[in-house]
Amino acid sequence: DAGITQSPRHKVTETGTPVTLRCHQTENHRYMYWYRQDPGHGLRLIHYSYGVKDTDKGEVSDGYSVSRSKTEDFLLTLESATSSQTSVYFCAISRDRGSYEQYFGPGTRLTVT
């Protein structure tokens, strides 16, 4: 199994509060991704990183920001959480772009009340 951990695994927060989710990898992979999984939508890309301090937006980036100051850590921040951001969040890593599969972390279940 690829060395990917996510923290916290579960979180309940109130509308309007900031939330940061952490993804940590021990594989030294260059590419890291944040997805959300919702019923009827599958997995949708929020943001991704192609190197330290190099990030870009995915399909559903509004309301989210990311940071990557070290190869092993990729942080996802909800600046002001809303109920529509209640979801399961997955981090993924890949060795190189395109023709290399992504490996996923165990997920974080976030509930915004």
Interaction of residue 58 with other proteins, rule CB under 8 A: yes
Residue 98, Ramachandran bin (φ over 0: left; ψ between -120 and 50: alpha; else beta)? left
Position among 21, 25, 33, 68 found at the interface with other proteins (CB under 8 A): 33
- The distance of closest approach from Cβ of residue 44 to other proteins in the complex, given in angstroms and rounded to an integer, is 7
Interaction of residue 44 with other proteins, rule CB under 8 A: yes
Considering just the CA atoms, what is the radius of gyration of the chain in Å?
13
How many other CB atoms sit within 10 Å of the CB of residue 50? 15
Binding residues among 92-111 for other proteins as defined by CB under 8 A: 92, 97-99, 101-107
Q: Site residues (CB under 8 A) for other proteins?
A: 4, 31, 33, 35, 40-45, 48, 50, 56, 58-59, 90, 92, 97-99, 101-107
